[in-house]
Amino acid sequence: MRFPALVVLALSVASVAAAQTTAHWEYEGKNGVLNWGKLDPAYRACSQGHQQSPIDIRGAHLNKALAPIEFHYIAGGVTETNNGHTVQVDVHPGSYIVAGGVRYDLIQFHFHHPAEEAVKGKLTDMVVHLVHKSADGKLAVVAVRLMEDVGAPNAVLAALWPHLPKTAGASEKVTEMVSPGGFLPADRGYWTYMGSLTTPPCTEGVRWFVFEQEMSLSRDQLRTFAAIFKMNSRPLQETHGRRIEANE
């Protein structure tokens, strides 16, 4: 999971990393995912941690005591930043979720192509990670998997994509109203488990919520992001016996 500004991805599950660390990392090459744990002592969890993300979700245990996540998202202007690893969208304060009786404020959301979380070995085309933080500093990431659907553009992406910064370090302000709630599926059933940031420093102790229902994006929307980030996903990590629960 792999603080500048949710599943629970920087702090992005790419931006927190940028704020907390200094060693340069990439997804491929000598500074790529296989070597993250060697690039900096602060990245040790990337290779030695036992609660790393992302994971392949299978064998989930039904927990009827898990309450639905309460979403309190508001629309507003946002800032999009290309941090060299993803496009991070910073939001104005005010949006939050309540999960397990804890309030987590929405800090930012960002994208990975292809998706990082798998379900029974299957990856979708993209995923959006909505990154949240509680008053005592705990992180929660809500992951919404996106699948290409010809002719079915995603309304939130339709507002964001015309402003996508194409070069690392570039930012663009979006003044029109953008509602993160547009990413949420009608069926709010989810899987949950403890994991980490999916980028260095791969900090553990992140609570992940992955929606079971996928959302769609159009082929053009997928191609637009892929033209900037051909691949910005961490490979699946071992579960090490972690318990995955479902609230359906």
Residues with catalytic function:
85
Contact yes or no for 113/229 (Cβ under 8 A): yes
Q: What count of other Cβ atoms lies within 10 Å of the Cβ of residue 189?
A: 13
| Amino acid identity at 198 | T
Parallel/antiparallel/unpaired status of strands 126-134 and 70-72: unpaired
Chain position carrying tokens 């488990």 = 193
For the chain, how long is the longest CA-to-CA vector? 47
d(CA 134, CA 113): 27
Residue 104 sits at φ, ψ, to 5 deg, of -125, 125
